[in-house]
Chains A and B, each alone.
Chain A
Amino acid sequence: MKRYQELPIGGVIPGGATPHLVQTGGWRSGKKPVFNEKLCVNCLLCWVHCPEATILVERSQMRGISYDHCKGCGICSQACPTGAIVMVAETNDEPQMPQQKAGEEVCV
């Protein structure tokens, strides 16, 4: 680790602090979000609201959840308008995914 002479003064982090450099998902609240691609409409509200770098996005498409950074806060599942992200107990290895009923319109 850097000596005090080598650190930027005042605790400043040049370039900005980024969780890309730190895996913050070492512990979680006890629940974790699970993503159901079939219900996702790619509104990316989960990406906007997530306080960490947990929502994986490629070319404006929601691609899943990085558990390396997720703290289990559940904001993504609250923000999701289609129920594509649900919080499940951490111990449940095979979460029950919400299924879209036949003929039901997804409201965005």
Chain B
Amino acid sequence: MRVATEQKRLTLITGAEAAAHAMRQINPDVVPVYPITPQTPIIETFAQFIADGQCDTEIINVESEHSAMSAAVGASCAGARVMTATSSQGLALMLEIVYIAASMRCPIVIAVGSRALSGPINIHCDHSDSMMARDAGCVQIFAENAQEAYDLMIIAQRLAEDRRVLVPVMVMQDGFTITHSAEPVALLPDESVREFVGQYEPLYPLLDTDRPTTQGPFALPDYYFELKRQQVDALEAARTVWLELQERFAETSGRRYEGFFEEYKLSDAEYALVILSSTAGTAKVVIDRLRRKGVKVGLLKPWLFRPFPAEEIAQALAHAHAIAVLDRAISFGSWGPMYLEISAALGRYLHEKPVLYNYIYGLGGRDTPPESIASVVTDMQNELDPRVLRYLGLRE
């Protein structure tokens, strides 16, 4: 991402507060939500904005995340603009209804403070919660820092509500690392955000009694398959709409999210790292250090994980000698979720494939210092066996 040089106003806020500011400016009609660490400061801050009269959203205090998403689906079907927020077990409890929200084409924006799934119980960051939800039919966007968390929430709202898309959009920021860390964020004027997201005009609002609809009907073998196929088109359309929105967002904010992923010193890199979210920030520091030593290493940081930009990523990585995919989640009995995506992408789109490594890192909030990431580059230089799944910072 290129940040515009003229920043008129920077505010020192956490990632959670940044997401809450985006929600305040979007001013959704309904937010059904249940508190859970590390998401809680998002909704606490947002509730304070409402109490202070800065927006007039109806918050529904529910008894669980299952109820939160159920209420979100109901409100969305009624025709409301709906947002919610969750983490970890909360997302797990929501998940049954997240699938239904996606299939009923409810454009609900879900802010996620990424956190490890129990058990053992843990409140710190990894991506096992969002990866669990990757097949639910939502668009999934990963933010590196508080600025991205803010920007991507705003983009997400418009993306979800585009008539070509109409599915839930999850915006992930790393729990504690981003949700609870303060950093300077350039907030847009309220009017700019309101203009960007516009007025939501629901396709089939249940409250429109002049145009009655039945929603969420039983679909037997004669219809279910066709309705699932429609969801494929929705996620495909999300690619196009994402690119269109980046143009508009750049005009609005001066900040441009170029393509589906950020490339950092990747164009001439012999060694490429693929990392989601905040650890990508650490990787940039490592890359700068190694570049000074003459090691040609670069980074690819996807914003979009669903839909997965497979062809574009394969092309961007094609020139590398070796690639290491760092996953902050694991599919037990298999590999890291992003490694599987990248492996499939290279297999489908490239004839001559770079050597591909997979590292699992940071589970349950395990720290991943710059030295760990540097060791991955050393491993690639030493041509270690790529068939072995490796772990960073694990006692073994």
Contact = CB atoms under 8 A, between A and B. Distances in A.
Interface of A: 1-4, 7-17
B107 to A, nearest CB: 11
B8 interface: no
A7 B212 contact: no
Interface in B209-234: 211-217, 219, 222-223, 225-227, 229-230, 234
Chain B CB within 10 A, most for which of A7, A9, A10, A13: A10
B226 to A, nearest CB: 4
A9 B214 contact: no
Contact of B203 (A1, A9, A17): A9
A73 B69 CA distance: 33
Nearest to B218: A11
Contacts, number: 54
B301 to A, nearest CB: 32
Contact of A10 (B211, B215, B229): B215
14 contacts: A1-B222, A4-B227, A7-B226, A10-B103, A10-B104, A10-B166, A10-B230, A11-B227, A13-B214, A14-B204, A14-B213, A15-B213, A16-B212, A17-B214
B215 to A, nearest CB: 5
A81 B230 CA distance: 48
B105 interface: yes
B214 A10 contact: no
A1 to B, nearest CB: 7
A11 B213 contact: no
B103 A15 contact: no
Which 6 pairs across A and B sit closest by C-beta, in order of nearness?
A: A10-B105, A4-B226, A17-B214, A13-B214, A16-B212, A4-B229
Contacts of A8: 204
Contact of A13 (B166, B217, B225): B217
B146 to A, nearest CB: 34
B104 A13 contact: no
Interface residues of B, number: 22
B211 A14 contact: yes
Nearest to A13: B214
Interface in B144-170: 166
A11 B222 contact: no
Contacts of A9: 105, 166, 203, 230, 234
Contact of B217 (A2, A3, A4, A11): A11
A11 B145 CA distance: 38
A7 to B, nearest CB: 6
A7 B229 CA distance: 11
Nearest to B224: A11
Contacts of A10: 103-105, 166, 204, 215, 227, 230
B217 A17 contact: yes
Contacts of A11: 103-104, 215-217, 219, 223, 227
B226 A16 contact: no
A80 to B, nearest CB: 28
A7 B230 contact: yes
Contact of A12 (B214, B226, B229, B234): B214
Contacts of B219: 11
Contacts of A12: 105, 203-204, 213-215
A4 B230 contact: yes
Contacts of B216: 11
B213 A13 contact: yes
Nearest to A8: B204
Given A9-B203, A9-B230, A10-B227, A15 B212 contact: yes
Given A10-B227, A11-B219, A16 B213 contact: yes
Contacts of B166: 9-10
Nearest to B163: A9
Contact of A7 (B204, B215, B227): B227
A13 B204 CA distance: 9
Contacts of B222: 1
A4 B222 CA distance: 11
A42 to B, nearest CB: 27
Contacts of A2: 226
A61 to B, nearest CB: 26
Nearest to B211: A14
Nearest to A17: B214
Nearest to B103: A10
Contacts of A16: 212-214
A11 to B, nearest CB: 5
Nearest to A10: B105
A13 B382 CA distance: 60
